[in-house]
Every structure is written in C-alpha cells, then in structure tokens.
Structure 1
Amino acid sequence: MRRSLLALGLMGFMSMAMAADGTTGATVSADGKTGATAAAAAGAAAMTANLCLPQEFGGVADGKSLNTAAIQQAIDKCAALGGGEVRLSEGLWLSGPLELKSNIMLNIMADATLKADNRENDFVAAYIGAPTQPKEAFLLANNAQNVMITGSGTIDGSGEEIWWEEALEVRKAVRSGNAKVFEERFPGVKLANGMPRPWLIELNNVTGGMVYGLNITNSPMWNVVIRNSQEIGVNNVKITAPTTSPNTDGIDIVSSKRVHVENVEIFTGDDNIAIKSGVDQRTASASEEILIENSVMHAGHGISIGSETANGIGEVIVRNTTFDQTENGVRIKSARDRGNMIGPLHVSDVTMEKVSTPILITFSYAGNSGAAGLGLVEPLDAMPVTPTTPHVDGVYINNLKATGANIAALLSGLPESIVQNVVLQDVEIESQMGIQARYVSGAIINTKVESADGKPIVRGPDYRMREAR
C-alpha cells in the first residue's frame, strides 16, 4: 500500500481541522507534506469560498415543510459559483433526494437533522449490479470531485417509517421458501441483496470525498456507499441501525481505491463494513488500498470482504479496531459464481468480545449472514476453475485477542482453489469450538486457542498449515 495512504494523506481537505460545530478551521497545505495535491487544495478552498443557505430559497427547518427544492437550489447556487458551503442550521429539515456537486460542502450543524421524506415518491431503488441513477440515494454525489458531507448534526433516512416493513416481509417470504416472489418482482437482483431500496449516502465516480463528524441513522438500506471512487475518507462518524433492520450495511466500499475509514462507530443489521467489487466481471474495477483503523464495530456482521468480488479485491488493512458482540469479526466471503483474486488482507492489534466467529474465510457464500454453528471440514467435490472462481492469497492476522467466541475460525477454500498463505501469529481466542480448516495453506505461529470442546484445531481435507510455537 502506498505510503501516502498509511500517512493519512488521502486528499487535501482530509487535513482540515474541524471545530465542534462542524465549521472548518485550518486551511489545507498543498506543499506535499500531507499528501495533498494542488487540485485538492484548490477544491478545499472552493468549499469555503461561498456560503449558500436553503433559507434564501424558502427553506424552513420546521419538521413539516418539504425542503428538497430549497436545499437543492442552495447546492446548485454554490456549484455555479465554483463551490461553497451549504449550511443546514438548527432544526428538522425534511427533504427528498438531493444531488451534491463538485467542490460542495454540505454542513449539517449541531442540533440540525436532515431527514428523508418520500411524500412525493421520488426516491428510486439502488442495486450494486446496476448503473447509478438519479435519486437512488438520499445524498448522491455522481461524477464529482471534492465533495464533503460534514458537521455534528444527524442524517436520518426514515428507514423504519418508510422502507423496512416491506423489506422484512419480502425477506420472510424468501426464507420460508417462496423465492419466486422475489425473483418475479426484482428480476436480475441476487437474493442475497435483499429487496432493493434507496441508499442513504452514495459517492459514485468521486475523486476526493469526505464524510465527517455526523450521526447517521435509520437508513433505508446501505448507509454510506463508496462506488467507483478514489481518495475517500470516512472519519468520526457514528452509524446506527437496529440489529433487525434489513440489509443496513454501515459502509460499503465498491470498486474503489485509496479509502480511509477512521474513528467510526457502527451498530447495524448487516455488515458493519463491506468491501466489494461487483457481481459481474469486467463491469467495474477492483477495490484496493483500503485502510480501516481506530474504530469500533458493535452489533452487526463485522468487517466483510465480499460477497461480490467478481472484479477482485486488492490490499486491505484493518488495525487498532474493537469488535463488540458482532456476528463475525473479519470475514472473506465469496463463491464460485462471483470470485476473482482477493488479497492481501492485513489485520493487526484487534480485540473481539462475544464475537461468534472471529476469523472467517469461505468460498460457499449463498446469502447466509454468518457461520455460527456450521462445520466446514467435510470434503468437497472439485469443480472446473472458471473466471469467477475465487482465489485468496495472503491473509496476515497478528495480535488478535478474542473472548466469548463460538467458533474460533473457519478457513474453507475449494479443492480447485485453496486459500493460500494464511498466517495467524500471536493470536489468542477463547471459544466453544476451535479452528475448523480445509483447503488452506499457511502458518499458525505462537497462537493459542482455548476451546470448550477440547479441539483447538479440526483439520479437514487439504490442510497445509504449518504449526509452530
């Protein structure tokens, strides 16, 4: 991974000092010391050059008035001036879908809430396998540069009020065996996706983007979606959704590179963070150069790579992160119909408490949320290698400590594609069941697994892990 990413030099305005009220403090240096480019610095300057207020266009934060037009006109005004800050002051701002543009800072101040309102039925459903379309996210930046969504206020997606009930009914029908209902209503959409709904925040084909300081809650579906983008930061953000909320991933990184996630806290009903590259090959690029650090994952499915990995996943780093009662810890999930090259993945200095499966690598994903209680040590039938066969090479896990787990780790490749170069070093796990592994190579070094069943490692077929103290 490039040194600039590790030095946090993702973009010029990432180094802005943010005051408690969400306003910008220090200016951006463009001398290269922070990794900023002249273009990024110019974009950051443009975002503070003009102030555009929805009140100028009749906007009222009274919790009753629909402010879609007023907020959008404020955005358009700043964009026409070359960039600027669109500020939402104290109050409840109801709005339909909004489109952000280059060099725009949307600043949601303390005690301000921007809440989704679909009274005009203008939201449309989003789907990872389809091109971006207008109004598929509450806040959409498409084909833009230098976009910032910031402040210390709240973005409320009205998911519970408008979208979750129907999605849960569809899920119930599918899980009862009536998949035909889903397939007829949503042709071409994978069952694992869940019922398509709008996303909350989407950055698509954006260079230089930041989501900073906000409370994000109640999303219709995925919360923060970073798609086909680069030099993106998500920092000091809290994302909340009930564990029962359907498909409410916290952060989805799709076919994007040089993404830095830091100091986030996520409670959700699905993956806390998911890194993907699409369901069909040659329709998108790999996701790579991803850094996740200094964060807390609460109730949810943990940090996942996949399951949509058809265009590959490059280097991912997860470090200095806590997992608290998530279903999984760090997971790679793929399948024969959606794979490509995946790796390397570096995980270090991680703690997990009451995480069902701390380490999970499987190539048999079929829409199941996790692997608690599964045993993956039986032989599999080999299949021909195809362009979508998943290949994992390089998973390095160092200084991971987990207590209260169910299964310590599941490592399960395929006969035709074993998981290669998995290294567990200085790992300590207390669990009901130990490591279950098949079709995997690598090393287990100075690692201690205390399992209640007395079987710290169950070795399945084609187990090639070197074990050393």
Structure 2
Amino acid sequence: MDGDDGIAIKGGNRASSNITVSGNHFYGTHGISIGSETSSGVTNVLFRDNTLTGTDALGNTSGSSAGIRIKSSPTNNNKVSDIGYLNTCLDAVRAPLVFDTHYSGGSGSNTPWFTGIVVDGVTALHSPSGAKSTLVGLDDAHPLEVALENVNLDVATSTAAHAKITSAGSDLAPSGAGVTVTQGAREGTAPSCVFPVFPAL
C-alpha cells in the first residue's frame, strides 16, 4: 500500500532489464508501472499474477488510479521493449491500461518508444464512472506496439493514437490517428479474480 506507484521500474542513469514482478497485491497505488525516467532504457520485464485495487486499506481512493502503466515523455525517455503482463486482476481502477508517451506533457529531444509489449490476461471489475484506458505512441515513426490478448474490461473506453495493436479476445477497440488493429488468434482466457483483503499488521 503506497501513496504513489505500487512499483515503478526506471531506467534513468542505468538501464533496467531482466526483471520479474510476480504474485503481488497492490492497494490504492498509482499502478504497476514502468517510468517515467527511462532515458537509459528498460527491457525484458515480466509482470505475472498480480492484483491491484484502486482503494487502500482505509478506503481511500488513489489520486491517480491506474492499473498496468508505462509512462514517459520526450523529456526523459529512450526505448521500453519486450515487456509482458500475464494474468493481472484490477478492481475499482480508473485507468486500467495506460501506455503514455506524453506523460505530464513533458517535452524534449528524446524519443519515447514502447515496443514488444504483450498484455495477456487482464480482468477489470468495478471500474468507476469515467474509467478509460490510454494507448498513445509518440508518432507514426515511433508507434506504440502492443498485443492485447484475453483482456476483459468492464469499461472498455479508450484513447489511442500512433499505435500498432494486435488484438485477440480483447474488449478494447482502440481507434484514432495512426492506429491500426490486427486481429490475432486467441489462446487462453482472461483470469478469474480474487482480491485479498489488506493484511492486518
């Protein structure tokens, strides 16, 4: 339980690679995150069998309620690549999926580019009114490249731009400038979810 990101993998002064985040339960955080400082790059990361609840143990709603999240901008970004999210459960989260290359409106000469992102198995329940996912690449030369497989969201509203998306069994139907969606072959199913109560101290 945290007032900020549940976890934030960064690649500021040094690159980050070969990381697994597995079997965690997050409460009232800003998401299971990569970024925003990734100027040295982030690669080969696996998130597996994690749950995230948009409220903490006291019932406080996260001020930036996100689920799966990669965030950066031209201020401090390089390439984020080969990232997998397997079997993720989200409860009462306002932004289920966030892939944002324009985080906080940052500007600069760097090139945020998210490639080889695979989201396989997500279930989102009890999403609040106004819930929305974001899938935004930098431009057509540096699009977001993401596969969405077995994605079951109870609110499937999204904003998208400059993205190459492969979809297989996904509720999301992103559209926007520079967005292409290719249908893939579905294997597996979205996870059934149980959200543990925050443990007593």
> Which bracket does the TM-score occupy, shorter chain normalised?
0.7 to 0.9
Which residue is 2:68 aligned to?
330
Structure with the higher fraction of residues in helix conformation:
1
Q: Is the 8 A contact 1:357 1:408 kept in 2?
A: yes
Partner in structure 1 of residue 135 of structure 2:
411
Which runs of 5 or more structure 1 residues have no equivalent in the other structure? 1-266, 279-283, 369-382, 450-456
* Larger radius of gyration between Structure 1 and Structure 2: 1
Is 1:341 the counterpart of 2:79? The answer is: yes
CA contact (8 A) 1:324 1:354 kept: yes
Deviations 1:326-361 (A, max 9, x none): 511111111012111101110011111101111100
> Relative to total residues, which structure has the larger strand share, 1 or 2?
2
Instruction: Return the alpha-carbon distance in structure 2 between the equivalents of residues 272 and 394 of structure 1.
Output: 23
Aligned to 1:179: none
Aligned to 1:390: 112
1:366 equivalent in alignment to 2:90: no
Shift of 1:367: 7.6
Residue 171 of structure 2 aligns with which residue?
448
Quick one: distance in 2 between partners of 1:401 and 1:458? Answer: 17
Which SS does the other structure have where 1:269 is aligned? coil
CA deviation string 1:235-285 (max 9, x = no partner) = xxxxxxxxxxxxxxxxxxxxxxxxxxxxxxxx111111001111xxxxx32
**Cα separation, 1, equivalents of 2:104 and 2:159:** 19
Give the letter for the 1:320 counterpart: D
Count of residue pairs the alignment pairs up: 173
Aligned CA distance change for structure 1 residues 391 and 367 (closer, same or farther; 3 Å)? closer
Structure with the larger RCO, 1 or 2 (CA within 8 Å, 6+ apart): 2
Could you say what secondary structure the match of 2:157 adopts? Answer: strand
Secondary structure of the structure 2 residue equivalent to 1:336:
coil
SS at match of 2:103: coil
Q: Which amino acid aligns with 2:154?
A: E
On the 8 A contact 2:144/2:164 being kept in 1, the answer is yes
For residue 466 of structure 1, report the CA deviation from its aligned partner.
1.1
Q: Which amino acid aligns with 1:302?
A: G
Equivalent residue runs for 1:279-298 within 5 Å: 284-298=13-27
Measured in 2, the distance between the counterparts of 1:313 and 1:458 equals 25
Q: Is the 8 A contact 1:356 1:404 kept in 2?
A: no
Change (3 A) 1:349 1:335: same
Is the 8 Å Cα contact of residues 303 and 329 (structure 1) preserved in structure 2?
Answer: yes
User: 2: distance between equivalents of 1:438 and 1:397?
Assistant: 18
Residue aligned with 2:126, SS:
strand
Structure 1 residues 156-195: aligned runs within 5 Å: none
Cα displacement (A) at 1:320: 0.6
Residue type matched to 1:331 in 2?
A: R
Aligned CA RMSD, in angstroms, stands at: 2.1
Post-superposition CA distance 1:41-66 (Å, at most 9, x none): xxxxxxxxxxxxxxxxxxxxxxxxxx
CA distance in 2, matches of 1:275, 1:295: 15
Cα pair 1:339 1:389 within 8 Å, conserved: yes
